[in-house]
């Protein structure tokens, strides 16, 4: 039913946990069920140096969060902002359509964290 990548990222999630004193963080909960993801980011000079997640949810929610953090590491925040639910699903080899809303939460959490980080920047 699920791709090998989904199974791998579920069984061996990357970048789990929470960054102590992160530059940015955000939590998103699914409007459809109890899936929840917390994203914490360490950002230096606009580059995402570390990204961690904690997820309460199904295998797809964990896999989406894992691969999404992999996709943004080392990227400029403007590039990370472009991550979409479709790009995360595609990176995993596809996910069932009904899982796009309830389990593919990391892209929204990443954008929300970046928004919060930008609000903290000094006005120049």
- State yes or no: pLDDT of 7 exceeds 90: yes
What whole-number distance in Å separates Cα of residue 62 and Cα of residue 19?
Answer: 17
Q: What is the DSSP string of 20-82?
A: SS-SEEEEEE-SSSS-EEEEEEEEETTEEEEEEEEEES-HHHHHHHHHHHHHHTT-BHHHHTT
pLDDT band at 23 (very low <50, low <70, confident <90, very high): very high
- 91-116: average pLDDT: 92
The residues that bridge with 24 in the sheet, in sequence order, are 41
Using only C-alpha atoms, the chain has a radius of gyration, in whole angstroms, of 14
Q: What average pLDDT is seen over the chain?
A: 94
Tokens of 111: 């954008």
Name the pTM for this structure. 0.93
The share of the chain scoring above pLDDT 90, in percent, equals 85
Give the pLDDT score at 121.
Answer: 87
- State yes or no: pLDDT of 113 exceeds 80: yes
Give the pLDDT score at 56.
Answer: 95
**Tens of pLDDT, residues 40-90:** 999 999 999 999 999 999 999 999 999 999 999 999 999 999 999 999 999
Question: Where on the phi/psi map is residue 9: left (φ > 0), alpha (ψ -120 to 50), or beta?
Answer: alpha
What whole-number distance in Å separates Cα of residue 26 and Cα of residue 74?
Answer: 19
What domains can you pick out in the chain, each with its CATH number?
Answer: 4-117 (3.90.1010.10)
């Amino acid at each position: 039913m699920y791709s090998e990548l989904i199974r791998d990222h579920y069984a061996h999630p990357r970048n789990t946990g929470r960054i102590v004193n992160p530059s940015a963080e955000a939590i998103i909960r699914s409007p459809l069920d109890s899936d929840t993801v917390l994203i914490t980011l360490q950002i230096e000079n606009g580059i995402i140096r570390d990204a961690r997640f904690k997820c309460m949810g199904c295998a797809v929610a964990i896999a989406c969060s894992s691969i999404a953090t992999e996709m943004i590491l080392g990227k400029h925040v403007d590039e990370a902002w472009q991550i979409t639910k479709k790009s995360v699903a595609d990176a995993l080899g596809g996910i069932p359509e009904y899982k796009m809303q309830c389990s593919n939460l990391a892209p929204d959490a990443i954008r929300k964290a970046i928004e919060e980080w930008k609000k903290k920047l000094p006005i120049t």
